Amino acid sequence: MTNHIALFEPLFPANTGNIARTCAGTDTVLDLIKPLGFSVDDAHLKRAGLDYWDKVDVRYHENLPAFLETVTDPQQLYLVSKFAERDYTEPDYQVNDHDHFFLFGKETTGLPEPFMRAHMEQCIRIPQDDEHIRALNLSNSAAIVIYEVLRQQSFLNLERVHRYPHDKLK
């Protein structure tokens, strides 16, 4: 069982780089659905991901249908949208035999509306004050969701205690 963060046509390299860093730190696959709004050689992308790119399992998909073909169990696909009715904390993300996929939309327009309407039961949202902001930052949203998933999975495969050299504790 693997967790996946999937980005639909991401536009901003800094967001994707920050998400890649989160994926490296959480052993999460990063699925990028084309077209991308930047080159994967972009300096901002590399800077945001720091030196963790070699530790991220990045998978590229030509389009949304190509990505959907890789989803092993459609019931484990979650569409993250501020228009969803169900909060991201409500589903049960416990460990099972299937991968979990969390699909985030483009920074400016989100996920395609017809696609979301066809999959409303799979939509989840992060509560926010819509009177003050249009949307949370994409990289923050991905981190919020994946850490809830990992919390429910008892932080499977993640080290629970950071070990410092003894001389730094003095």
| Buried b / exposed e along 21-50 (16+ C-beta atoms within 10 A) | bbbbebebbbbbbeebbbeeebeebeebbe
> What pTM did the predictor assign?
0.90
The annotated binding site for S-adenosyl-L-methionine is made up of 80, 105, 126
> Could you tell me which residues are annotated as the binding site?
80, 105, 126
111-170 per-position pLDDT tens digit: 999 999 999 999 999 999 988 998 899 999 999 999 999 999 999 888 766 666 655 555
Q: What domains can you pick out in the chain, each with its CATH number?
A: 3-168 (3.40.1280.10)
Q: What confidence tens digit (pLDDT) does each residue in 75-92 have? A: 999 999 999 999 999 999
The pLDDT score that the predictor gives to residue 131 is 87
